[in-house]
Structure 1
Amino acid sequence: MPSVLIAGAGPSGLILALVLLQNGVSVRIIEKESKHRIGSRGSGVQPRTLELYDILGILPSIEKESTQLVKLATYVQGELEPSSILEISERVEPTPSLPHANALIISQDRHEEILRDHLQKFACPVELSTELHSFEQFPDHVVANITQTNADGKQVTESTKFDWLVGTDGAHSVVRKQLGLSFLGETQEHIIALGDIVVEEGVDPKFWHIWNLPGKLLALRSGGPTEKSFMLAYSGRPEDVAEKPLTREEFIEDFHKLTGRHDVKFGAATWMSNWRPNMRMVDTMRSGRVFIAGDAAHCHSPTGGQGLNSSVQDAANLGWKLALVQKGLAPATLLDTYSEERLRVIAQMLKLTTELYSKTVGNIASHEPADTSGWKRGEDLGMLGVNYCGSSILIEEGAVASASAYSKTSGNRVQAAYRAPDAPGLVRAGTGDASTALFAVFSVSVHTVLLFGGDAASRAPLVGVLARLPADAVRAVLIVPQGQTAGDDAERFSEVFDDREGHAYSGYGLTPGELAVVVVRPDGVVGAVVPGAEGVERYFQKIFV
């Protein structure tokens, strides 16, 4: 039987399955719905998530189907031309250490389809019409009570044993509820109608379109500069009808009435739904052998495009830890750091997205003047500064601790708790191979220990420490400074690269003369920056049995 049951096949469940499978851990992933969800929903993929996808090896598939973030056009009633054009997020020029500097837009249903395609490579399909009803925990396993509904409507119930259970089953999570976890926060009264609708003519798909009206907001969010499908958001419907799902005809009638625009011609609506603003989170993401991730652990405003991305990063954080424990390489206590690291980030994310919501959609309910500053996306929302400062499994000596889970490091030297930068222009020593980059070297299945500088004698104690670590869980990589050659100990490393273009040393803020060791976790986070063997040994004592 598979080792891990994942209940829920949204982005967090799919990414967790991919991480575990790449670690050699068997998975079963189930989804109670009879069909895969349609709709653009959460369409923004932030730079930090793109980096994870690069390490996972799935980024080209996502990029192929994605577009860049477009501008926002705001209107007054009856006018055909925008009253203002806003840059939602200023485009940032990529650099060697930051190759994925800008968010991409991709419909969530297509995003999930791509992730499922990659799961198929591991012969791990999503089981539709398969619902987790309840579970029982034991010291060494979990028994899940599952019902499958066949095509003819016949139901088959099973009680199956797994080593672990992860609930990625959304805001109404069965797993969270059965665990009895708190889900503190607020639910706002007003309702927003959401959906996807085709716009045949009248609005330019190169823009998102917003009508801020007294007590109301209408928005058409483009799926891309050549797309005819737009996501609609409509807030401020009369209270006596707001509880009922909005129909296509009702939306079109209200759109024409409220905007004064009869030149806009609509096609089919693929889905319609009501959404009531919820801003909530749990106080723990683990109970014994059961975990929750994604919307099951936190729900929030979609403003800022943080939800899907936070869910994916939950999965990345949990995945490598769970894999090490399942393989017997790490103690079960390592799993406590999942909540420890992620809850601090989620709390900050809720604060940021709630503030944005209040400035944009939230002000509609209170009839306050529109605040266009809320549509401006600062660099924090790219999530490149998301960090795990203060985590009990990091070595942060000499680092400047951050009070915010969303703040970047100061200075250019690489720092524990933050993202590991990329570095292109690396060539395998002694070969004529094409150059590669650190994101291609990193892996979700191993810690990558990067050695910078030093000579064979100064690296000898470190080589001894590395030799005692699990060979299938740690990869030692020697980065040779530009214009120098590897020492006599080169064969002791998994990989040796010449920093031909100098991007590794400069991007990590290190000088060729000093011996420095950077430990990069499987989730792309720097676990330690230390001067030698003693620091490396202390770091891995926190990780391995």
Structure 2
Amino acid sequence: MSNPSVLIAGAGPAGLILALILLKNGISVRIIDKEMKHRTGSRGSGVQARTLELYDILGVLPNIMKVSAPVPPTARYARGEIKPVATTTLISYVEPSPDTPHPNACNISQDIHEEILRTYLQDLSCSVELGSQLLSFEQFPDNVVARILKTDANGNQVEENTRFDWLVGTDGAHSLVRNQLGLSFLGETQSEYIALGDIVVEGLDPKLWHAWHDPPKFLALRSNSSTSKVFMFAFSGSSENKTLTREEFIEEFYALTDRRDITFGPATWLSNYRVNMRMVDQMRVGRVFIAGDAAHCHSPTGGQGLNSSVQDVANLGWKLALVQKGLASDSLLDTYSEERLRVIAQMLELTTSLYRKLFQDRKNDEAWARGGDLRMLGVNYCGSSIVQEDNVMREASADPYSKSSIGRVQAAYRAPDAPGLVRAGSEDAPTRLFGIFSVDVHTVLLFGGDETTRAEVLGRLPEHAVRVVVLLPQGHTAANSAGSALILEDRAGHAYAGYGLRGDVLTVVIVRPDGVVGAVAAGVEGVEQYFQKILA
């Protein structure tokens, strides 16, 4: 039996999502983690709107939503006061719309989040290999040899040297993969330590998060759900590198809050760290990649970390799959760094700004406000060498986090959803674009035009790398089958409205497997130019 094609070192959300994407592309993977047991603790709990869209396309969203909850308001207190001095809505609610069905972030404990993703992996006959630590690796022109230390439940250890086609390090801020590659990790480290943990709390409303401030100390309690008595705490204000015990945390809590009406049960997870704002200047060296915290770490303010990590691997996964299948050249993998580093730099700027506002003046409402760009719906790859668009000037200087303002679908930005699509000439149940998009194929959407102009495009598309969807305006039917294309009537009118397109002129929208629009073209020439950039 041959070795898996890709070794993923690190089984947090980034590693798990990458494994899912590759497996859905038919690429074999092995995912390892040095821990002997799956990690517990709520840790990074905020899942932003753009990540929810990716999860929808990937097919994992239903089970995530079953156990998630809206992000609640935060109550801020003065010492000894039972009633809050202010209650701040971190993220204002946005009404879902046909093109954006998941506009609001949700809250889910990271250990539960990871457990759900592991279940989806198991459905694809893949499991996380615990007790397997990557010790080192060596690159060759056509493979990577990884040295792995395996430890069983009895403490017995054995080393192996195994060959893979590719290695991806999703192994956290202290990444062995990054360190062995010798990549720079420039930025700054704060002097303060932040103590974290999960603890049972009696006497606080779990429908709210709670915060106290007495400079230089700050303490927040974040409930795991609206009915849970388990809260994650974050305590800062100490320059001592020490993980607080449960008893030490309780002592600090009472000293800061003077709230003896609040009592505590068991603590299930405790940790300690200093905030770093750092990033690499490249995410690929030969056959080895890094993603997530291995490539960038930052303040937790803004809830961008887990989400940026997932979006890293969404960008990498489809490209790596195409190259592994022999459908694209190796140079496509260079665009992983090209596209993601620009976004990560902006993310660091945003989260660092929020961190400084919060820790310089924690009574400033501006420091507590979230939403807007932090929903990540405007994250884009403007200026990318593989983005292709006809007739509209490429916005190479566009803000990496801001939405397009041109009033219609644009290459480099997210592809909107559109419900109410019905197979032409039928009364079938309606579908939607997020149910059609897939992580294993480009989706080519044909809007408008006539049978002749559409046939010209259809005859020039690569056969094995695309799914074709002809979208007819409301009330229209097709004269022929358009080959293997799926022909849908925009019966509710949301596709043409949401994409800002006309029914009398042919427009081809090419949606990448990561849900990003790769091209908006007026005809065959633009389509061919795009796929020349992507495929071998």
Deviation at 1:252, TM superposition (A): 1.1
1:462 aligns with 2:457: yes
The equivalences for 1:19-38 within 5 A come to 19-38=21-40
- In the alignment, the residues of structure 2 paired with residue 439 and residue 138 of structure 1 have an alpha-carbon distance, to the nearest angstrom, of 40
Which residue is equivalent to 1:373? 366
The equivalences for 1:125-136 within 5 A come to 125-136=127-138
Deviation at 1:152, TM superposition (A): 1.3
- In the alignment, the residues of structure 1 paired with residue 243 and residue 365 of structure 2 have an alpha-carbon distance, to the nearest angstrom, of 28
- In the alignment, the residues of structure 1 paired with residue 455 and residue 71 of structure 2 have an alpha-carbon distance, to the nearest angstrom, of 49
Which residue is equivalent to 1:228? 229
- In the alignment, the residues of structure 2 paired with residue 94 and residue 502 of structure 1 have an alpha-carbon distance, to the nearest angstrom, of 17
Which residue is equivalent to 1:475? 467
Deviation at 1:400, TM superposition (A): 5.1
The equivalences for 1:120-199 within 5 A come to 120-199=122-201
- In the alignment, the residues of structure 2 paired with residue 296 and residue 303 of structure 1 have an alpha-carbon distance, to the nearest angstrom, of 19
- In the alignment, the residues of structure 1 paired with residue 373 and residue 357 of structure 2 have an alpha-carbon distance, to the nearest angstrom, of 17
What TM-score comes out, normalization by structure 1 length? 0.96
Query: Does the 8 A contact of 1:143 with 1:161 survive in 2?
Result: yes
The match for 1:41 among 24, 40, 43 is: 43
SS state at 2:414 partner = coil
Which residue is equivalent to 2:435? 440
In structure 1, list runs of 5 or more residues that go unmatched.
Answer: none
Which residue is equivalent to 2:378? 385
1:531 aligns with 2:522: yes
What TM-score comes out, normalization by structure 2 length? 0.98
The match for 2:424 among 429, 435, 438 is: 429
Query: Does the 8 A contact of 1:527 with 1:539 survive in 2?
Result: yes
Residue correspondences, number: 532
Deviation at 1:122, TM superposition (A): 1.1
- For residues 130-177 of structure 1, give each alpha carbon's deviation from its aligned partner in whole angstroms, at most 9, with x where no partner exists: 001001100000000001001111111100000000000001111101
Report % sequence identity: 67
- In the alignment, the residues of structure 2 paired with residue 266 and residue 474 of structure 1 have an alpha-carbon distance, to the nearest angstrom, of 56
> 1:280 is aligned with what amino acid?
R
Deviation at 1:274, TM superposition (A): 0.8
- In the alignment, the residues of structure 2 paired with residue 291 and residue 191 of structure 1 have an alpha-carbon distance, to the nearest angstrom, of 30
Query: Does the 8 A contact of 1:478 with 1:493 survive in 2?
Result: no
> 2:277 is aligned with what amino acid?
M
- For residues 491-537 of structure 1, give each alpha carbon's deviation from its aligned partner in whole angstroms, at most 9, with x where no partner exists: 32431111110000000000111110000000000000011111000
- In the alignment, the residues of structure 1 paired with residue 270 and residue 46 of structure 2 have an alpha-carbon distance, to the nearest angstrom, of 20
1:345 aligns with 2:360: no
1:319 aligns with 2:317: yes
Relative distance call for 1:47 and 1:121 in structure 2 (3 A) is same
The match for 2:120 among 101, 118, 129 is: 118
Which residue is equivalent to 1:82? 84
Deviation at 1:399, TM superposition (A): 4.2
Which residue is equivalent to 1:403? 398
Which residue is equivalent to 1:414? 409
Runs of 4+, deviation exceeding 3 Å: none
> 2:59 is aligned with what amino acid?
G
In structure 2, list runs of 5 or more residues that go unmatched.
Answer: none
> 1:210 is aligned with what amino acid?
A
Query: Does the 8 A contact of 2:389 with 2:526 survive in 1?
Result: no
> 2:191 is aligned with what amino acid?
E
1:487 aligns with 2:485: no
1:298 aligns with 2:300: no
- In the alignment, the residues of structure 1 paired with residue 408 and residue 242 of structure 2 have an alpha-carbon distance, to the nearest angstrom, of 55
Which residue is equivalent to 1:499? 490
> 2:184 is aligned with what amino acid?
S
- In the alignment, the residues of structure 2 paired with residue 479 and residue 535 of structure 1 have an alpha-carbon distance, to the nearest angstrom, of 19
Relative distance call for 1:320 and 1:436 in structure 2 (3 A) is same
The equivalences for 1:213-224 within 5 A come to 213-224=214-225
Query: Does the 8 A contact of 2:383 with 2:394 survive in 1?
Result: no
- For residues 414-458 of structure 1, give each alpha carbon's deviation from its aligned partner in whole angstroms, at most 9, with x where no partner exists: 000000000000011232211011000000000000000111112
Deviation at 1:244, TM superposition (A): 2.0
Deviation at 1:215, TM superposition (A): 1.4
Deviation at 1:46, TM superposition (A): 0.3
- In the alignment, the residues of structure 2 paired with residue 358 and residue 214 of structure 1 have an alpha-carbon distance, to the nearest angstrom, of 14
- In the alignment, the residues of structure 2 paired with residue 372 and residue 319 of structure 1 have an alpha-carbon distance, to the nearest angstrom, of 39
Query: Does the 8 A contact of 1:70 with 1:224 survive in 2?
Result: no
Which residue is equivalent to 2:326? 328
> 1:483 is aligned with what amino acid?
G
- In the alignment, the residues of structure 1 paired with residue 460 and residue 191 of structure 2 have an alpha-carbon distance, to the nearest angstrom, of 58
- In the alignment, the residues of structure 1 paired with residue 414 and residue 215 of structure 2 have an alpha-carbon distance, to the nearest angstrom, of 43
Deviation at 1:371, TM superposition (A): 2.4
Deviation at 1:486, TM superposition (A): 1.3
- In the alignment, the residues of structure 1 paired with residue 494 and residue 338 of structure 2 have an alpha-carbon distance, to the nearest angstrom, of 33
Deviation at 1:470, TM superposition (A): 3.2
Query: Does the 8 A contact of 2:455 with 2:482 survive in 1?
Result: no
- In the alignment, the residues of structure 1 paired with residue 121 and residue 255 of structure 2 have an alpha-carbon distance, to the nearest angstrom, of 46
